[in-house]
Amino acid sequence: MSNSKTAKADIDVLVSEVGPRDGLQSVKRTMPTTAKLDWIAALADAGLREIEVGSFVSPKLLPQMADCADVVAGARPIDGLTVLALVPNLKGAERAFAAGVDKVTMPVSASRAHSKSNINMTPEQAVEQVAAVCRLRAERPDYRHIEVEAGVATAFGCTMEGAVSEDWVMQLAGMLVKAGADSVCLSDTTGYANPAQIKRMFKRLHAEIGDKCGGAHLHNTRGQGLANVVAALDAGVMTFDSSQGGLGGCPYAPGATGNIVTEDLVFLLESMGLRTGIDLDKLIGARSKVLAGLPGETLYGNVADAGLPKGFQYASGGRPA
C-alpha cells in the first residue's frame, strides 16, 4: 500500500525505523549528532531503507531534536535511504524541505485533547497545515519530489479521551487525502489497539482512501504490538514503523511508552516469508551504536536477547545483500 519510492520489488514489507525520532524524543538525555549519524549509518547498512531521523519542532519543546537539520544533512548522502522527518506544521516543513528531506510525516491527532496538547491545534487546523505543506511543495520544482505522509495519531484510543470514534478517524483520513497527503497512516500512539480493531480499521481505511492507505505505527505498551502487526498484514498493510530496541513512546500521552521493536518485527516478517531486505545480525549489531550515544540506556527486544534460531532462513532464501 505504501507509495514510497523505497518500496521496491525486492522487498515485500517496508520497515520504517523511527528510533532516531520517536525513540530519542522520549529520552531525556540528548544523543550527540555524530552518534545519531553513526547509528543511522549502521541501520542503513543493516538494510533499513527508510529512517525517521528527527523532528522539526521547536528546540524549546524538544531539545533532543535541535540538531535535526544537521542529522538530515548527514544522512542524505547514504545511498538508497529515504530520509524522513516529522514536521508538526508549515514552519517545520519549511525547515525540513530546506534541509533536504526526502519525505515528511505530519501527525494529525484524531483525539481533540491529544491534538491540543501535542501540537496545540484542533484536528481541522492540523489538516489545514497538511494542505499548506502540500502547497509549499507544489510551489518549488526542487521540492516536488518530497513525499508528504500524514499520520492519524491516537487512531485507536486516547489516554485523555478514551475511545476515539472510528467514523471520525475515517473522515479525517479522507480530509487528509483531500488536503494533498500522499499517504495516510494510522498510529496507535497510546498502545490501546487490539488485533480485531486493527484489521477492521485498516480494511475500512483501504475502502475509504484506496492506494493512499499508508502504514501502521504501533506501540507495544500493552503487549499487543506484534499481534497487531499480523492483523495489519491480514488487512493488506505493507509498511510498519518500529524502533530499534523499542526505544521511545510519546511524551505527550502519559504512560504510552514503547514502539514495537524493529529487531522483533523483522524476525516476525522474515519468519513468515516476507522479505524486508534487512540483515538481522547487522541490525542487532547496530544496538551498540545506541548505547555508544546513550550509555546505559535500556533496550528491549526478545530476538536480540535470545538470538536467531538454529537454521534460521531469511524469506529470500539467502542473507539480504
Query: Shortest gap between Cβ of 186 and Zn ion (angstroms)?
Result: 12
Amino acid making up residue 77: P
Q: Which is nearer to Zn ion, 231 or 315 (CB)?
A: 231
Residue 61 CB, nearest distance to Zn ion (Å)? Answer: 16
Residue 24 near residue 285, CB atoms below 8 Å = no
Q: How far is the CB of 248 from Zn ion (least distance, A)?
A: 6
- Please report whether residue 188 would count as binding Zn ion according to CB under 5 A: no
Buried b (16+ CB within 10 A) or exposed e, 247-281: bbbbbbbeebbbbbbbbbbbbbbbeeebbbbbbbe
What H or E segment, with its residue span, contains residue 14?
A: strand 14-17
Contact positions with Zn ion (CB under 5 A) in 254-273: 259
Q: Is 22 in the site for Zn ion (CB under 5 A)?
A: yes
Instruction: Please answer whether residues 173 and 201 qualify as being in contact, where contact means their C-beta atoms are separated by less than 8 angstroms.
Output: no
Q: Rank residues 105 and 197 by Cβ distance to Zn ion and give the closer one.
A: 105
Q: Are 275 and 18 in contact (CB under 8 A)?
A: no
Residue closer to Zn ion, measured from CB, 89 or 259: 259
Whose CB is nearest to Zn ion?
22
Annotation says 158 is catalytic: no
**Residue 17 binds to Zn ion (criterion: CB under 5 A):** no
152: part of which helix (H) or strand (E)? strand 147-153
Q: H/E element holding 114?
A: helix 112-119
Shortest distance in whole angstroms from residue 39 CB to Zn ion: 18
d(CA 1, CA 13): 10
Q: Per CB under 5 A, which region of 19-27, 73-81, 97-105, 173-181 contacts Zn ion?
A: 19-27
Q: Which of 134, 185, 213, 250 is catalytic?
A: 250
Minimum CB separation from Zn ion for residue 240, in Å? 12
Complex with Zn ion: residue 86 or 315, whichever CB lies closer: 86
Residue 34 or 298: the one with the smaller Cβ distance to Zn ion is 298
Whether the Cβ atoms of residue 302 and residue 264 lie closer than 8 Å to each other: yes
Catalytic residues: 250
Residues near Zn ion, by CB under 5 A: 22, 259
